Amino acid sequence: MKKTVITYGTFDLFHIGHLNLLNNLKSLGDELIVAVSTDEFNTLKGKKTIVPFEDRIEIVRNIKSVDLAIPESDWQQKEKNIKEFNVSIFGMGHDWQNKFNDLKVFCEVIYLPRTEDVSSTSLKQKLKILDRSHITDLKHTLDLISSIVERFE
């Protein structure tokens, strides 16, 4: 009998941690289905993505270990997908530990370790230095420093 694994995520700023998670999940079964959160769903979750949904799902579709990529549009979709695709294993990163245990009545639920020191959130923090408001703050600070230096010349 075919063993189907499913996972869900935003997959913004796709990185090695995402790839490791998908490859590890694929090793648990015969087929891996990945549901990628839509931009609208991310807005409801209070998340702002950098990469638009159409690009994120296209990236996921082209990962060797992914057999099918589908949109995720709401929290209730998980139970429906598990039944629809006859899922054997629901897998997520361990940062979601115990949050989906209610799905254990439908399939096995596992939480895999994440790749150390890498996440989309940390990448976004590093990129914040390029944010327009941050650059404006830096410019204002430099102007202030310049005016102080001028007073001592």
Catalogue the active-site residues: 45, 47
Whether 107 and 7 have beta carbons less than 8 Å apart is answered as no
Rg (C-alpha) for the chain, rounded Å, is: 21
| DSSP per position, 8-77 | EE--TT--HHHHHHHHHHHTTSSEEEEEEEPHHHHHHTT---SS-HHHHHHHHHTSTT-SEEEEE--TTH
